[in-house]
Amino acid sequence: MIIDLTDTTSSEIASALLKARRNAGSPAMGMVGTIVVVVDEASHHDAMKAANEAGREHPSRVLVAILRPGRGASGLDAEVRVGEGIPGEAVLLRLHGELAKVPESVITPLLLPDSPVIVWWPGGGPKAPAEDPLGRLGRRRVTDAAATRRASIDYTARAEGYAPGDTDFAWTRLTPWRALMAAALDQYPTKVTGAEVSAARGNPSADLMAAWLQSRLKVPVEQKNSRGPGVTAVRLFTPSGPIALTRPDGAVATFSVPGQPDRPVALKRRTTSELLSEELRRLDPDDVYAKTLATLVERNGLPEDAKKVGETARKSTAAKVTAAGKKVASAAETKAPETKSAAKKAPAKKAPAGKAVAKKTAAKKVAGGKKAAKR
């Protein structure tokens, strides 16, 4: 059943949900939570589909919010869906004008009482999800670093803005990889001297995987670029040989342990609905993710902006030092000719005086000689 509401309110939407449930013959809700999806107009269909598929395992009320801030008049349009193959309830909300700046005022009355709230940003998400107006409503806040439009992820801001309940699909995608590598060390306990992660260029999951290995094993981890898709290989170097998990095609991986035959492992790239279902199974804080974020910031060193500022400062200082050196050299060259000319003029002035003294001395000697002769 689909109910379209134009220029409506939250109370009218709640009444439409109740009416739709009664018409469907299921007045009891039977839902375990609320999924709030913050998305744009272009990708709302895929996001709602993924949320509804995840709802087959976790029946939920899905509230898809499309924010359209602008100078136009404030308004709220809604589309209520109950039944039609949907395990729970789905509401598509379009917030216009000033109302889009305060979406929590619309979402809060529609949350299921006494049940957890999961907020999901399919298009990337804010740097500090817990500080977002809708993020404050969630017990679990899910972002996706791989879907961001920015050239790179500012993990420093993510680490500084982390709050218990934050997670990211880039981290969720690593769950089977982390499980297999941990199981390998359980079955083959040995000393690990180093590690290597290969993935497509700019893959955020590879950054998190390298940081996780470094934080847990306390060894240097090298990252290499590959053709993808996603993460293609993880290797742990040991004295007996590498423990390797390689997946070149994105579907089947090969698990290699020293002294044992290679084993194929089903390791396909999971869909968005499967990732969301995993996050719905666990609503407690992910402390390992928080520690991995901190390690990733340490691996990256200074943020890129700080590096640029430092480089600019170093260039400015070098330019000032060079200019000061030129001034000193110029001043030295200016004084040098004056010294040389003064040195040349000094003997010239003293020369006539020296000749006069010599003439007077010679004259005195001649006069003295004449007097001696007369005597």
pLDDT at 148: 77
- Residue found under tokens 């961001």: 148
- In this structure, the answer to whether residues 48 and 110 fall within a common structural domain is yes
pLDDT band at 158 (very low <50, low <70, confident <90, very high): confident
- In this structure, the answer to whether residues 184 and 148 fall within a common structural domain is no
Average pLDDT score, the chain = 80
Give percent of the chain above pLDDT 70. 77
Cα separation of 45 and 64, whole Å?
10
What would the pLDDT profile of 38-80 be if each residue is shown by its tens digit? 998 888 999 999 998 998 888 899 999 999 887 778 899 999 9
pLDDT at 299: 85
Is 99 contained in some domain?
yes
Give percent of the chain above pLDDT 90. 51
Apex CA 41: angle with CA 38 and CA 43, to 5°?
A: 75
Is 263 contained in some domain?
yes
Above 70 in pLDDT, residue 337?
no
Give the residue from 147, 169, 191 where a domain finishes.
Answer: 169
pLDDT at 308: 38
pTM value is 0.75
CA-CA distances (angstroms) from residue 149 to 126, 144, 166? Answer: 12, 11, 20
Above 50 in pLDDT, residue 117?
yes
The pair of structure tokens assigned to 241 is: 């040989």
- In this structure, the answer to whether residues 184 and 143 fall within a common structural domain is no
Q: Count CB atoms within 10 A of the CB of residue 300.
A: 18
Above 90 in pLDDT, residue 180?
yes
Q: Say how many domains are in the chain.
A: 2
Above 80 in pLDDT, residue 360?
no
Q: Which residue has the higher pLDDT, 95 or 72?
A: 95
- What number is the average pLDDT over the span 214-224? 94
pLDDT at 207: 93
- In this structure, the answer to whether residues 160 and 261 fall within a common structural domain is no
Give the residue from 121, 149, 169 where a domain finishes.
Answer: 169
Characterize 13-35 residue by residue with b for buried, 16 or more Cβ atoms within 10 angstroms of its Cβ, and e for exposed: beebbeebbeeeeeeebebbbbb
- In this structure, the answer to whether residues 121 and 181 fall within a common structural domain is no
pLDDT at 222: 94
pLDDT at 174: 95
- In this structure, the answer to whether residues 115 and 179 fall within a common structural domain is no
Q: Is 111 helix (H, G, I), strand (E, B) or coil?
A: coil
- In this structure, the answer to whether residues 21 and 153 fall within a common structural domain is yes
pLDDT band at 20 (very low <50, low <70, confident <90, very high): confident
pLDDT at 371: 43
Above 50 in pLDDT, residue 139?
yes
- What number is the average pLDDT over the span 168-182? 94
- In this structure, the answer to whether residues 228 and 135 fall within a common structural domain is no
Is 195 contained in some domain?
yes
Among 22-36, 59-73, 229-243, name the one with the lowest average pLDDT. Answer: 22-36
Cα separation of 57 and 66, whole Å?
25
pLDDT at 322: 47
- Taking the alpha carbons at both ends of the chain, their separation in whole angstroms is 156
The pair of structure tokens assigned to 285 is: 């804080």
- What number is the average pLDDT over the span 125-143? 92
DSSP 228-241: -SSEEEEEEEETTE
Q: Is 303 helix (H, G, I), strand (E, B) or coil?
A: coil
Cα separation of 232 and 198, whole Å?
6
Q: Which residue has the higher pLDDT, 278 or 149?
A: 278
Give the residue from 114, 140, 169 where a domain finishes.
Answer: 169
- In this structure, the answer to whether residues 103 and 207 fall within a common structural domain is no
- In this structure, the answer to whether residues 69 and 82 fall within a common structural domain is yes
What domain range is 161 assigned to? 2-169
Above 80 in pLDDT, residue 370?
no
Q: Is 65 helix (H, G, I), strand (E, B) or coil?
A: strand
- In this structure, the answer to whether residues 68 and 8 fall within a common structural domain is yes
Residues 6+ apart with CB under 8 A from 222: 194, 195, 196, 197, 210
Backbone angles phi, psi at 283, to 5 degrees: -115, 0
- In this structure, the answer to whether residues 31 and 118 fall within a common structural domain is yes
Above 80 in pLDDT, residue 127?
yes
Backbone angles phi, psi at 188, to 5 degrees: -130, 70
pLDDT at 2: 86
